[in-house]
Amino acid sequence: MSETSEMKIDPSRAAALASQIKGVSERIAAVGKGRNVRLVAVSKLKPANDILALAQPQESGVEPQLHFGENYAQELAQKAELLPRNIQWHFIGGLQSGHCKNLAKIPNLWCVSSVDTLKKVQLLDRYRGEFISAFTSSSSPAPEKLNIHIQVNTSGEDSKSGCSPGSETVELCRAVEAAPHLHLLGLMTIGAIARSVATTPENENEDFVALREQRDLVARELGLDQEGEGEGGRKLELSMGMSEDFEGAIAMGSDEVRVGSTIFGTRPPRAEAKIKE
């Protein structure tokens, strides 16, 4: 962790980030009405210094932000090497089969939120299992099962990743449930941009309605108790909502929102982005 101790944090930048994330958290709380909604701060193309500034204890008394989302597998891996292990990483970008091995072997990768094929389920399970097994003779604690969100293409757009609603979603969730080194956390969608822009807490987004219906379908088909009670009962999460529409998503039951530019500001072009300043 020597690189962390050497990482410079600009006080004015840290104060601005803390103010922005406090504002987002207050907006989440206002709409959530007592529900525990997870905020994933999307830090893609932003330097590790920004993440460290938010992950440290805040002078204001605000809890450190520990859930961060990244869209690029290599960038996530590089930042995970640099930053403290208590950070809980989320991979939220388009998942390629070739990413699965390296991602599954990041010890504090908390969730892969863009799983959309059986092959990717099998690869993540295989490589996470290998990684966990490597700790059996070690004094270090073994990594936990990898949380999984199944990505559903609720808008039906060809440009969007995700499995099709209905039987395809159900069977993919069933495969994750059967995988010994994975944990089915819930479903995720990135809906149509036009619908996101039009979303308000009062105006229901069709993609969010569709994801909620898919979650309920999966729960019925897999015999999961959505109240989290009873033998084996647990609630499947809805991961939906980003900077433009997270308040509307929470109003429709989202358990997790992904907010980036509202916290970090405008991102640089990928070619100009720095892992560390």
Interval 190-233: pLDDT, tens: 976 666 665 666 667 899 999 999 999 999 999 987 665 444 55
**H-type helices in the chain, by residue range?**
2-6, 11-32, 48-55, 73-82, 100-104, 118-133, 167-178, 193-198, 206-222, 246-251, 261-264
Listed in sequence order, the residues at least 6 apart from 223 whose beta carbon sits closer than 8 Å to its beta carbon are 232
Element (H, E) at 27: helix 11-32
Of 263 and 195, the one with more pLDDT: 263
Beta-carbon contacts of 89 under 8 Å, excluding residues fewer than 6 positions away, are 68, 69, 70, 76, 79, 80, 106, 108, 109, 110, 111
Q: What is the pLDDT of residue 38?
A: 98
Measuring CA to CA, which residue among 211, 195, 197 is closest to residue 154? 211
Tell me what pLDDT residue 63 has.
86
Partner residues linked to 162 by β-bridges:
none
Contact predicate 238/255, CB 8 Å: yes
Cα angle, residue 88 at apex, residues 26 and 4 outer, rounded to 5°: 100
pLDDT-derived band of residue 136, with 50, 70 and 90 as boundaries? confident
Q: What pTM did the predictor assign?
A: 0.93
Asked if residues 147 and 188 have their Cβ atoms less than 8 Å apart, the reply is no
**Residue 217 CA to chain centroid, in angstroms?**
22
| CA–CA separation, 237 and 224 (whole Å) | 12
The average pLDDT across 94-105 equals: 97
Residue 36 CB neighbours (<10 A): 8
**pLDDT category of residue 162 using cuts at 50, 70 and 90:** very high
DSSP 109: E
143-150 mean pLDDT: 96
Mean pLDDT computed over every residue of the chain: 91
- State the pLDDT at residue 98: 97
Specify the pLDDT at position 138.
72
User: What pLDDT is attached to residue 5?
Assistant: 64
Q: Which two tokens stand for residue 235?
A: 């609630």
Query: In the 8-state DSSP scheme, what is residue 260?
Result: -
